[in-house]
Copies of this chain bind each other. A is one copy, B any other.
């Protein structure tokens, strides 16, 4: 694996999941793999779980880990080719990325979308420029349109639950991604990425439900059943992934929504005692009710904990591919 930007970079989801669960069972089993190697975690935006879990994962593999909040500890980068830099940007990605690349064996980058220009965001200009100029493997810590470490974690978590519940393996589990309300416009990253990974994984019946106007880019959602009635979608679900996103078509907007889309325990009645997932952070009682988050069906803490093992599997795979 030369980079980890989307599911397309992955040879075998199954292998990554197996490796992640092996690290969960034995975190330090490859404690010497990263000896003498360095990994840089670069942030253009805030982060909690991704920041901490990726550091833990890297340390478990013996890598020297350096965190750099480019936006706060450095300065504003320029990404436009040919820019005359007489404004607020201080350094061009073409100069910063090769310098950073020369210091590290692996670079990880978080950069959110602007939600202003669909074209720029969906071209993944920022992370693509990093990849182009850094000269070392790049791992996405969430980019403009995707969040692959989260999606790998999600499949690890679903696999883990299925294993422990020893359900009859002849029927694929039903996994529903449901849109949820929020007070501000959020990126489509987590939803895009989850859809992309679920479709590539193929080991679930995958349904997406959202209000009209919130259609995802078909590039990612194609292959899923898409429903506009949440109640219809939830029927017999084994897993419900709850997430808000803003509109893709009328880019970054928040079209008015009919009805109440916040999941509650009452709605879980229609499901097959579904486990409820969320990537966090979650706005309680806006996106998801207290009764679900504090109840027995929520697996959000297990899911958040698995971020470490997913990251560890990805970093180890890159180290093994490039040594």
Contacts and interface: CB of A to CB of B under 8 A. Distances in A.
Interface of A: 27-28, 31, 36, 38, 40, 43, 46-49, 51-53, 55-56, 59, 64, 66, 68-70, 72-75, 78, 82-87, 90-92, 94-96, 98-100, 102-104, 183, 280-286, 290, 293-294, 300-301, 304-305, 308
A84 B282 CA distance: 11
Nearest to A57: B103
Given A38-B59, A94-B294, A102-B301, 5 more contacts: A53-B103, A59-B66, A84-B286, A90-B281, A95-B280
Candidate in A68, A87, A103, A104 with the most chain B CB atoms within 10 angstroms: A103
A53 B104 CA distance: 10
A52 B28 CA distance: 26
A241 B173 CA distance: 63
Given A46-B74, A73-B69, A100-B52, A284 B92 contact: yes
Given A86-B183, A284-B85, A285-B82, A301 B48 contact: no
19 contacts: A31-B36, A40-B52, A48-B74, A51-B73, A52-B66, A55-B66, A69-B73, A72-B72, A75-B281, A78-B284, A83-B284, A84-B286, A91-B282, A92-B284, A94-B293, A95-B300, A95-B301, A95-B304, A102-B308
Q: What number of copies of this chain does the assembly contain?
A: 3
Contacts of A85: 283-286
B290 A82 contact: yes
A298 to B, nearest CB: 10
Contacts of A87: 183
Contact of A99 (B64, B94, B301): B301
A270 B34 CA distance: 48
A282 B261 CA distance: 49
A98 to B, nearest CB: 4
Candidate in A96, A98, A282, A284 with the most chain B CB atoms within 10 angstroms: A284
A91 B285 contact: no
Nearest to A64: B59
Contacts of A36: 27-28, 31
Contacts of A305: 99, 102-103
A92 B292 CA distance: 14
Given A28-B36, A40-B52, A308-B103, A281 B73 contact: no
A66 B75 CA distance: 21
A94 B292 CA distance: 13
A251 to B, nearest CB: 23
Contacts of A96: 48, 280-281
